[in-house]
Amino acid sequence: MIELKNVAKNYGLSALGLYSESAIINTGEIVGILGENGSGKTTMLKAIMGLCDIQYGEILIDGRPVFEQYDRMAFITCEGSYFPNMTPYEYGNFLAEFFPSFDMDRYWNLIKFFDLDYLKKIKTFSAGQKAKLEVSAGFSKGAKYILMDEPFLGSDMFTRRDFLKLLVSDFREDETILISTHFIDEIENIIDRAIILRYGRIKADFYIDDIKNQGKTLADIMTEVKKVLSKSKT
Amino acid sequence: MLRFDDIELNNREPVYMQIAMYVKRQILLKKVADGEQLPSRREVAAQLSINPNTVQKAYKLMEDEGFVTTSGNQRSILHIDELIFSRIDDQLTRDMIKGFIKSAKGINLSFKRVVDLISELWGDE
């Protein structure tokens, strides 16, 4: 379980990250963190991972702060967390040394599945190939909490499909996945729940089945959230 | 084994209900039989690229409605007897007719016009 209690984060005076937001994410859920650019998605994920300091509030993972349990967390980001001068082969060996529960077999299966050249330096890869490597590493860390920030950036439709298929077929009940993306239609059937951010605030938080029961789609709700805000501004 | 090969998911209804409805249709069309095995939850999730929790929810719903039983080793099989078959038959038929009546009323058709048209067009299809 991830608990966010009144978490606030701003980047100086000019930019707002999150504005005193609270949420509870249960173990076993696949949650979409959605919203427009600059709405606070990356800030929220980085704050949970302990990758940025928060000015106010508290974040607990299974009741304990993140810095006590980095080995249970994986962060997959479009910015890339690999070393560009390493080959996938070298990077795998590095991760195995660094993460005690790193699953080398799984890593190799993913590298093969994504058809990546394991002897070429990562910096020579295309954007899509880099994303595939990032995902291969993130999913092999043996983490219980997997946070993904725009993992599809630079990936084509077929790669995205492969990736989602992989995600659902490997998902285990004791894992929790948070994923931020703009590909709403493609993840609609993948996520249990959606948290929609706008200007650093949680504007909606709901289970997909509940909105379907009301005859609505994820896109409908996102449009509603946008409208409500535009109206209140005028 | 029951396969979900030709299921087409829409994005209007909850996916778990669509899965349960698909199985009911297969039962009604007699494409599946009593005792037939269902794929594992993980297999269905991977095949349809949907959340495994959703598949679990669908299986739970089908268990609650009595036409799927899951034994200790987690293998789920279909359980179809006369009572269950007639209940599914009744439910699906009524749902279909209800939907038809709703759309007929939606365009202000009279009962007589509908019945006349059904009599006229029944043999065409």
Q: Tell me the pLDDT tens digit for each residue of B21-60.
A: 999 999 999 999 999 999 998 899 989 999 999 999 999 9
Tell which A residues from 79 to 108 touch B, by Cβ distance under 8 Å.
Answer: none
Domain hosting A180: range is: 2-233
Distance from A127 to chain B by nearest Cα, in Å? 24
pLDDT at A230: 63
The strand pairing partners of A5, in sequence order, are: A58
Best residue of A31, A166, A169, A183 to probe chain B, by most B CBs closer than 10 Å = A169
Q: Does A159 touch chain B (CB under 8 A)?
A: no
> Based on the number of CB atoms within 10 Å of its own CB, is A54 exposed (0-12), middle (13-18) or buried (19 or more)?
buried
CA proximity to A136, closest of A109, A117, A173, A159: A109
Q: At residue B74, does pLDDT exceed 80? A: no
CATH number of A115's domain: 3.40.50.300
* Residue A39: per-residue pLDDT: 86
Task: Using a CB–CB cutoff of 8 Å, tell me whether B61 touches chain A.
Answer: no
Domain tally for chain A?
1
Nearest-CA distance from B9 to chain A in Å? 9
Name the residue among A185, A190, A217 with its Cβ closest to that of B51: A190
Q: Token pair for residue A193?
A: 């729940």
Q: Which residues pair with B118 in a beta bridge?
A: none
Assign 3-state DSSP to chain A and report helix, strand, coil percentages, each to 5.
40, 25, 35
Task: Using DSSP bridges, classify how beta strands A73-77 and B76-78 pair: parallel, antiparallel or unpaired.
Answer: unpaired
Smallest Cβ–Cβ distance between B11 and the set A28, A188, A213 belongs to A188
Residue A234 pLDDT = 46
Q: Could you give all domains of chain B from N- to C-terminal order, each with its CATH number?
A: 15-121 (1.10.10.10)
Judged by CB atoms closer than 8 Å, whether chains meet at B50 and A161 is answered as no
For A151-159, the CB contacts below 8 A with 24+ separation are: A151/A76, A151/A77, A151/A78, A151/A179, A151/A181, A152/A78, A152/A181, A152/A183, A153/A78, A153/A127, A154/A78, A154/A126, A154/A127, A154/A128, A154/A130, A155/A127, A155/A128, A155/A131, A156/A128, A159/A114, A159/A128, A159/A131, A159/A132
pLDDT at A226: 84
Please judge whether A215 and B16 are an interchain contact, meaning their C-beta atoms are less than 8 angstroms apart. no
Encode pLDDT of B3-16 as tens digits.
Answer: 898 899 888 889 99
Lowest-confidence pick of A170-174, B59-63, B94-98:
A170-174
* Residue A88: predicted pLDDT: 96
Sheet of A2-11: strands edge to edge? A15-25, A2-11, A56-61
| pLDDT for residue B78 | 94
Q: pLDDT per residue over B105-125, tens digit each?
A: 999 999 999 999 999 998 876
Residues of chain A under the 70 pLDDT cut: 13-15, 229-234
Alpha helices in A71-199 (DSSP H): 88-98, 104-113, 127-139, 157-170, 184-187
